[in-house]
Amino acid sequence: MTTTTDEDGPATFTTDVRLDGAAADVQGSALESTLVRVGGTLYGKGGQLSSDPKKPWVKYDPAAKNAAGKDASALMAGAMLQLLGAQLDQYRVAVSTAPYATDFKSVAGEPVDGVATTKYTMTVNVLKATQAKAFGQYLTSETAARSGLSELPVEVTVDADSLPRTFAYEADGAKVSGTFGKFGEPVTITAPAATEIA
């Protein structure tokens, strides 16, 4: 579960992640929307994404070239899916950016779900992390350079099995925190049927 708090208040995402090597399929819900990412393609429904009850899902493939004739509603839905999809990838901050961090400090952490933890404080080199795609497809080197984000202080708690339990950071005025659990439990993540996609 990830909570992002900015001037609009808190928004909480509850997300299932299925890791297969470096790839991850993800399903999450929040803000009256449901999001699914399978094989790099993002699907969303709810909110203002689609107005057709028979085809409630919209699709966004960041690798596909946008057709010049795409209508404005499709472009808007794609932009909204990108913004919401970035929330699905928050787990990457805890599990993928450590190799690009400096200034590691560790202390005993608070227990999480009754499990003892160690809290690590680190500073992620955003340029190196984005060049290695550690943040996923939603934060690139170009985006980070435009925002002026060069370093990202992160706190992560880890249990005795080296599994991340919590993380927290602040960027662009937004505070982001997350909690991990239910490791190893089976999860099914599938793309919506083609007949349900607008």
Q: Contacts from 36-44 at CB under 8 Å and sequence distance 24+?
A: 36/189, 36/190, 36/191, 36/192, 37/85, 37/88, 38/189, 38/190, 38/191, 39/191, 40/137, 41/191, 42/81, 42/82, 42/85, 43/81, 43/191, 43/192, 43/197, 44/77, 44/80, 44/81, 44/84, 44/85
Q: What's the pTM value of the predicted model, to 2 decimals?
A: 0.71
Residues 37-74 pLDDT 10s: 888 788 888 877 777 889 999 887 766 665 444 544 55
Greater confidence (90 vs 24) lies with 24
Mean pLDDT (the chain) is 79
Which pLDDT score is estimated for 89? 62
Which pLDDT score is estimated for 86? 59
> How many whole angstroms separate alpha carbon 150 and alpha carbon 152?
7
Residue 87 pLDDT level (bands cut at 50, 70, 90): low
Angle 60-62-67 from CA coordinates, rounded to 5°: 75
Residues 8-38 pLDDT 10s: 777 787 888 887 666 678 888 877 788 888 8
Could you give the residue ranges of the DSSP H alpha helices within 18-160? 72-88, 91-95, 126-131, 141-147
Residue 196 pLDDT level (bands cut at 50, 70, 90): very high
Residues 109-156 pLDDT 10s: 999 989 999 999 999 898 888 888 887 666 778 877 888 888 888 899
Lookup: tokens for 159? 């249990």
- The bridge status of strand 151-159 relative to strand 115-125 is antiparallel
Residue 105 pLDDT level (bands cut at 50, 70, 90): very high
